[in-house]
Structure 1
Amino acid sequence: MLETTADGPRPSLARRAAVTLAGAAALTGLAGVYTPGFAYAEPSAPTAQFPADFSDCPALPTGADPARWKCEVHTAAPQLTIGKVTVTLAPITMTHAEGPMPDGTDGQVWGAMHSAPTAIPGGLTGTAAGEHVRLTRLAVKPEYGDRSDFYTGQFSLRLRLLSPLLPQGCTVGASEPVDFQMKRPSPSQWVSQDPPLIKFSAYDDTFAAPAAEHCGPLTGPLNRRLGLPASSGNLMTYDATYTFRTYDQLPTP
């Protein structure tokens, strides 16, 4: 199938992927850049097991009182719509610390984020099937975007796109991460007091999704397949739980 532009016919992503597959030299050049195991995680609900893993708790700022600072471990099961794609992501775990600074202002320190790739239905072409399904599969892996404010619900992500036909740096939000301003539709709920476990829901339907970048010769067709960039119609929603310990209760390294 051909897409028609002002410059004349243009091969669709399905056609270009087929051409890429047919060219052994081109395939070797692309697949050799990134060859993941493709053991994509199946979506599942967030779980909190105790004792929780506090190994990612960051060092406290100089002068911070360990008894007044909490290390929080947050697990969420997000649903993400960007452009034309909706996917339930593998659970995300984030760790950060928060508490009062010596001058009395609110402080927070980022710890770490962990997640796993999740397959995007339809793969690179939107209709991946048959003998080429293994090479045209596509997955997304969220990565921390270097900005967060857990007092206000702000954080940012980069969305790495993984496929044998894409280079390793192929990412939505490569230059500027996707910024979320999460809103709470309802109050948080305490599930347990000892150990502490709090459940909440949050969403953002106002963020803009940029185009994928650094995706090699399939960059243009891939963005058309995903419907990117998309300035509206995007949605991040998830149910989450978190637990915490004050720093004076953490195990001594």
Structure 2
Amino acid sequence: MKSRTAVTIVVLVALSFIVPTSVYSNQEAIKGGGGGGFMLGLNRFDLAELSTKLQAKGFDAVKENNVSFGGGGYGIIGEKVLLGGEGHGCQQDVLSDTLKASVSGGYGFFNVGYVVLSERGFRLFPMLGLGGGGISLRIVKRAVTPTFDEILDSPDREINISTGGILLQFGVGVDYLLKLGKDDEGEGGLLFGIRAGYTYTPTKADWKMEDMDVLGGPDVTVTGPYVHFIIGGGGFGK
């Protein structure tokens, strides 16, 4: 699950940079343009039941607020319709006396939006996103660095379980283009923006360890509000 989530994020981020370029290069859509960049933000996930389970086994509490890193971008067709994508990931570690648990989250979206305001370099647009993601839990022993023979004698030093599924996103974005240059076809420069909204998991997903189901796991979802900041570049036609 963790590897599939990572691949999904990478693909969506790559598409998010390809889409603006292809749209901006299309002469029929030259009035639109696009932009993209790196994103840093804060996400709140539903991790309360997971935290309760871990605390019962002597671990520290899991924080529901997570700092995320990622990237995204979009292209504007004509002057109004926005198409793009984004991907984000985050991780936190909690400890017990003998173990370390790493709680990781990752997700990606394909977004559709509509520009409702475009003036003096500012653009305001609501967005809807469809994608996927999930939560993974990695537990390892807190010990000195093992030898190769010790690993062979006791290979059960690490456990990885995960859960995930389809995600929906509802949000709004505001971007500002700091113009650095222009030509006969348009202008380009640095892009600064903010995204805020809510991520929702419509279905309940089961925990898995490799290809096996894990019974009795806590309900965790990539559901909650988010705020992301973006810095990158963009270009828009006349």
Compute the TM-score of the two structures, normalised by the length of structure 1: 0.49
**1: CA distance, partners of 2:27 / 2:179:** 27
Query: Hey, what's the Cα distance between the residues in 1 that align with 2:199 and 2:31?
Result: 34
Deviations 1:151-202 (A, max 9, x none): 3512324363145733442x2xx3xx32214275xxx422222473222322
Distance in 2 (alpha carbons) for counterparts of 1:166 and 1:89: 20
Residue of structure 1 equivalent to 2:53: none
Match of 1:76 in 2: 37
Which residue in the other structure is 1:98 paired with? 78
Summarize the Cα distance change of 1:237–1:38 in structure 2 as closer, same or farther, 3 Å threshold. closer
1:120-139 equivalence runs, <5 A: 120-122=90-92, 127=94, 137-139=104-106
- For the pair 1:149 / 2:149, whether they are aligned, the reply is no
Q: What is residue 220 of structure 2 aligned with on the other side?
A: 222
In 1, distance between residues paired with 2:69 and 2:43? Answer: 12
Answer yes or no: is 1:191 the counterpart of 2:180: yes
Instruction: Indicate whether 1:165 and 2:162 are aligned.
Output: yes
Flag the structure with higher strand content.
2
Once residues 57 and 211 of structure 1 are traced to their aligned partners in structure 2, the CA distance between those partners, rounded to angstroms, is 34
> Structure 1: which 5+ residue stretches go unaligned?
1-30, 61-65, 100-107, 247-253
> Given the alignment, which residue of 165, 186, 198 partners 1:209?
198
Equivalent pair of 2:115/2:124 in contact (CA under 8 Å): yes
Take 1:57 and 1:132, find their aligned partners in 2: how far apart are those partners? Answer: 47
Q: Which amino acid aligns with 1:36?
A: R
How many Å separate the matches in 1 of 2:23 and 2:199? 33
Runs of 4+ in 1 over 4 A off after TM superposition: 55-60, 130-133
Q: Quick one: structure 1 residues 167 and 202, their matched pair in 2 at CA, closer, same or farther if it must change by over 3 Å? A: closer
Q: How many residues align?
A: 167
Residues 167, 109 of structure 1: CA spacing in aligned structure 2 closer, same or farther, 3 A cutoff? same
Whole-Å Cα distance in 2 between the matches of residues 193 and 57 of structure 1? 15
CA deviations 1:202-245 (Å, max 9, x no partner) are 225xx45254332414696324xx6x444xxx422222321135
Query: Structure 2 length normalisation: TM-score?
Result: 0.51
Q: Which segments of 5 or more consecutive residues in structure 2 lack a partner in the other structure? A: 45-64, 118-122, 137-160, 208-216
Secondary structure of 2:219's counterpart equals helix
TM-superposed deviation, 1:121: 0.8
Q: Distance in 2 between matches of 1:166 and 1:59?
A: 44
